[in-house]
Amino acid sequence: MQYLSTRGYAATSDSSVSFSEILLGGLAPDGGLFLPKTYPQVTPEELNRWRDLSYADLAFEVLRKFATDIPDADLQDITRKTYTAEVYKNARSDESAQAITPLRILKESGTHKLVLQALSNGPTLAFKDMAMQLLGNLFEYALTKKQAELNIFGATSGDTGSAAEYAMRGKKGIRVFMLSPHKKMSAFQTAQMFSLQDPNIFNIAVDGVFDDCQDMVKAVSNDLAFKTQQKIGTVNSINWARVVAQVVYYFRGYLSATSSNDQQVSFTVPSGNFGNICAGHIARMMGLPIAQLVVATNENDVLDEFFRTGVYRVRKSAETYHTTSPSMDISKASNFERFIYDLLDGDTARVKALFKKVETEGGFDLSGAVGSDGDEFKKIAHFGFTSGKSVHADRLQTIRQVEKEFGITVDTHTADGIKVALEHLRENVTMIVLETALPAKFNETIQEALGRDAARPAGFENIEALPQRFTVMDTDIAAMKSFIATHTGL
């Protein structure tokens, strides 16, 4: 399996980039994102064989199609080390811990079926653990073989940061520099990150919004000399290995919800940075029978606008809302470029031009209107995409509705997903909503919706009271580079 950049790097027939070569990096040298030159295909026979596999062995089967330069025995050891009931011990029961990502039927009436796929049983109570735990073990494996070290530089709107830090803490040869928007995460999210005292973890609170943090990561990553000297890698959703790890739970969700390969399912995914649902797109391109991929946004509805109109219009920092589903408070979706590459049939020159326009003019238009940048919006349905939007009043109502009708409490982002999913139910097609986090991470809104605190897994009772260690900085690229260089000693 060989890889190329969405903007053309390594696109010629005689050039090649392997999985292990892109594992430790982020952006391609030309500023694009890595994708396989062709998506591997899954046969009906393979799907049948995979139905009875453990999550760890299913992960191995999916990953080996992409990580062809890692010996099978090593890769299987890594997946079996990662996906255990012990790692995902915040599950609701021993049975669901073994399943790793169990399904729960929420609504079944006539020909309509709504299912919730639990993805939040990992150490930081969020779906990001599904990929990040694997990434930590892959990183350690690759660095040990090279006798090398890595300085991870990333940005988070709340959950990626803690998942990365918990996966990397104590890992040999790895330091983590994580940016987050100052005072714009929930109290639980903030405490989960900032209370870590490990010497290889550096939390940096940026005076701005998540998009400012993300722009800083890209700016540093695009300085190839600095990136090389400081051994910079990334765990953000642009990291290809992380996207591939997320592909696995789409296969698990489908196989758990169906009994034969002639059945289709749809997925509704709370979406901000487009990484989670990009994995669903890849699973569908591999041949997984997905009818629809439903993008659920909050008030920051850039993606919903695109999938309704074909216009991608990035909001400025001042126009980005601070909401009660803060992990989706994003207006520049990092992984969106991967989908646009496929939408444009791999035309790397056009992809490069469009995302240059994002930087210079704030967006592009594929609606086909006079003066637009193209008419590819007409092809959106071919890829199964549709979308919807949920705002604060919607998520409060959905949290109350789910509690009353199904007896469970969901977090704010999952509530956004359920609200939008209910608007897109189809006859005879099971709709799977991907859970985002446990509600304890967003207790302020649970209190507002239900008048009580969200339940907390053991060990998290008083996390907000723990001492916190972090540095506040503004959006100064030079100062950020100096901070990294000072603390790596390179």
Residue 385, both tokens: 């995409």
Residue 438, both tokens: 């446990």
Residue 112 φ/ψ, nearest 5 degrees: -105, 140
Distance CA 456, CA 458 (A): 6
pLDDT band, very low/low/confident/very high, at 13 (cuts 50, 70, 90): low
Per-residue model confidence (pLDDT) at position 463 = 92
Residue 169, both tokens: 């803490």
Averaged pLDDT score across all residues of the chain: 93
Give the DSSP per-residue string, 142-162.
Answer: HHHHHT--EEEEEE-SSHHHH
SS3 of the chain: helix, strand, coil, percent, to 5: 45, 15, 40
Q: Which amino acid is at 237?
A: S
| Residues 6+ away with beta carbon under 8 Å from 374 | 344, 350, 365, 366, 368
Provide the 8-state DSSP code for 105: E
Contact 323, 300 (CB under 8 A): yes
Contact 392, 323 (CB under 8 A): yes
Distance CA 142, CA 111 (A): 48
Per-residue model confidence (pLDDT) at position 90 = 66
Q: Which residues are known to be catalytic? A: 128
Distance CA 406, CA 181 (A): 35
pLDDT in tens, 196-219: 999 999 999 999 998 899 899 989
pLDDT > 90? residue 15: no
Distance CA 376, CA 183 (A): 39
pLDDT > 80? residue 141: yes
3-class DSSP state for residue 238? Answer: coil
Global model pTM greater than 0.85: yes
Distance CA 174, CA 139 (A): 8
pLDDT > 90? residue 159: no
Distance CA 97, CA 119 (A): 11
Whole-number percent of the chain with pLDDT over 90: 78
Per-residue model confidence (pLDDT) at position 36 = 95
pLDDT > 60? residue 92: no
Per-residue model confidence (pLDDT) at position 12 = 73
Distance CA 204, CA 475 (A): 11
Domain 98-124+243-450: which CATH number of 1.10.287.3510, 3.10.129.10, 3.40.50.1100, 3.40.1160.10:
3.40.50.1100
pLDDT > 70? residue 93: no
Contact 235, 154 (CB under 8 A): yes
Angle at 70 between CA 65 and CA 74, to 5 degrees: 110
pLDDT in tens, 331-383: 999 899 999 999 999 999 999 999 999 999 999 999 999 999 999 999 999 99
Contact 181, 211 (CB under 8 A): no
Q: Which amino acid is at 442?
A: F
H or E element that contains 22:
helix 19-23
Per-residue model confidence (pLDDT) at position 427 = 93
